[in-house]
A and B are shown apart, each in its own frame.
Chain A
Amino acid sequence: MKRIYICYLLIFICIPQINAQMKKMKDVKAFNERVLREAVSVKSIESDFTQIKHLDLFNEDITSKGKFYYRHNDKISLDYSSPTKYLIVINADKLKIVSDGKKNVVNLKSNKVMSEMRSMLAACMSGNISQISGYNMEYFEDTNSYLIKIKPTNKSVQAYISGFDIYMDKKDMSVSKLRISENATDYTDYLFQNKKFNTLTDDKKFSVN
């Protein structure tokens, strides 16, 4: 009984706080139309990124930094510069990881979960969320940002990720922050800064060979 009271208390404390910052989006249809328009005009993105992994158990944040590159419609590169050099490239069905000068290329086609994760990451990091289907989506907004809360319905994906929160800048519809939650308390934030659009003219950054 005591637990139920605590749950109620938490719900009543938390809900007004979310509402105070973000409200349910008024016009989801108009938002989706704008997403589609932007997806056509944005051919590439390059930016700095800061990754903050929050470990609730240790009350600890682990920060990594690097460069983010995206090219329409399924090419992503995360080039870490700190705490150590590390490179992740996703190009169509291939995933390349380079660490300590050693290269590891994986074909995602054979792994359904990894393949789905690849599509989700491309959509979440580029902001082209029109590609997303088969997930529960909720839409919120405030004066400056949109927030799209995405929950996987596939149990295989749920084993790794409980949800994606995409924060989009209303000015240019670019993703300013992505939160990937593993459970209720542990998550990783990716903050994208100094964004440049349509500056990449070739696929050099996305080589998987």
Chain B
Amino acid sequence: MTRSFQLISLLLVCLTFVSCSKNTYPLKTGPAPIISVGNKAQKYNMTLDFGGKHFNGMLIAKTMEDGEIRIVASTMFGLSLFDFGMKGENWNVYSCIEPMRKDRVLKIFETDFKLLFLSGRNVKKIEKTKEYTKFVTGGGISKGVIYATPETENDSEKIQIKHSWLRLTIGLEKMGENNVIE
């Protein structure tokens, strides 16, 4: 009993330190967003690994006439998963299926998608290699690592977002004109 109490106390102290520690974001993503979306719908093959389960679908993004970036995802079977919108810092959840409609999950989507689709976002760490650029965001349980492989002549744009603590990985791979992965 005493041992359990000590363990819980230690855990609470650790959590307090994590939550009170100052989140420093010394770096910013570039002046151009990681994914630039114009007024033509841009399609991505999307994979979602969550809690040991693997899902596959499609993500479509487009800048609307009013400047809002809309991000819509659906399963391969065609059913909609979510419809989000962002205009600057404003974030809108137009629809989201029930299992994902949780504040914490929605907040992660907001942070991740703002980092991908907006420019000059605060990040903790940027690491550039020949193959990819790695961005590290957040801390503790919401820590995210984003790997962005830029579009080149022979390679498609690939993004991987990893939240190891949450066992959540989102993969995006750009599709061509005829819905074919390039």
Within the complex, the shortest CB–CB distance from B176 to chain A, in Å, comes to 9
- Closest-by-CB residue of A relative to B179 is A83
A160 engages B97 (CB within 8 Å):
yes
B80 engages A186 (CB within 8 Å):
yes
Q: Which residues of A are found within 8 Å of B175, using beta-carbon distances?
A: 83
Would you list which residues of chain B between 41 and 71 have a CB under 8 Å from chain A? 41, 43, 45, 47, 53-56, 58, 60, 62, 70
Q: Is A155 part of the binding interface, using a Cβ–Cβ cutoff of 8 Å?
A: no
A86 to B56, CA, bound (A): 8
A58 engages B179 (CB within 8 Å):
no
Would you list which residues of chain A between 15 and 31 have a CB under 8 Å from chain B? none
A126 to B77, CA, bound (A): 17
The contact of A99 among B54, B70, B72, B181, by CB within 8 Å, is B54
The contact of B54 among A60, A64, A82, A102, by CB within 8 Å, is A102
Q: Which residues of B are found within 8 Å of A159, using beta-carbon distances?
A: 98
The contact of B47 among A58, A100, A161, by CB within 8 Å, is A100
Q: Which residues of B are found within 8 Å of A58, using beta-carbon distances?
A: 41, 60, 62, 70, 72
B76 engages A64 (CB within 8 Å):
yes
Q: Is B157 part of the binding interface, using a Cβ–Cβ cutoff of 8 Å?
A: no
A63 engages B54 (CB within 8 Å):
no
- Closest-by-CB residue of A relative to B48 is A99
Q: Which residues of B are found within 8 Å of A160, using beta-carbon distances?
A: 79, 97
- Closest-by-CB residue of B relative to A51 is B78
- Closest-by-CB residue of B relative to A106 is B53
Q: Is A80 part of the binding interface, using a Cβ–Cβ cutoff of 8 Å?
A: yes
Most A CB contacts (10 A, CB to CB) among B47, B53, B179, B181 go to B179
Q: Is B180 part of the binding interface, using a Cβ–Cβ cutoff of 8 Å?
A: yes
A99 engages B80 (CB within 8 Å):
no
Q: Is A180 part of the binding interface, using a Cβ–Cβ cutoff of 8 Å?
A: yes
Within the complex, the shortest CB–CB distance from B47 to chain A, in Å, comes to 6
Q: Is B112 part of the binding interface, using a Cβ–Cβ cutoff of 8 Å?
A: no
A75 to B79, CA, bound (A): 20
Contact string against B for A residues 52-91, beta-carbon threshold 8 Å, 1 for contact and 0 otherwise: 0101011010111000000000000010101110101000
Within the complex, the shortest CB–CB distance from A164 to chain B, in Å, comes to 13
Contact string against B for A residues 155-199, beta-carbon threshold 8 Å, 1 for contact and 0 otherwise: 000011100000000000000000010100010100000000000
- Closest-by-CB residue of B relative to A78 is B77
B54 engages A55 (CB within 8 Å):
no
The contact of A64 among B41, B179, B181, by CB within 8 Å, is B179
Given the interface pairs A99-B76, A188-B78, the reply to whether A62 lies near B60 with Cβ below 8 Å is: yes
Contact string against A for B residues 113-130, beta-carbon threshold 8 Å, 1 for contact and 0 otherwise: 000000000000000000
Q: Is B74 part of the binding interface, using a Cβ–Cβ cutoff of 8 Å?
A: yes
> 5 nearest interchain CB pairs?
A188-B78, A99-B56, A83-B179, A102-B54, A53-B78
7 A-B pairs with C-beta separation under 8 A? A58-B41, A62-B74, A62-B179, A83-B45, A84-B76, A99-B54, A180-B78
User: A residues near B, CB below 8 A?
Assistant: 51, 53, 55, 57-58, 60, 62-64, 78, 80, 82-84, 86, 88, 97, 99-100, 102, 104, 159-161, 180, 182, 186, 188
User: B residues near A, CB below 8 A?
Assistant: 41, 43, 45, 47, 53-56, 58, 60, 62, 70, 72, 74, 76-80, 83, 97-98, 175, 178-181
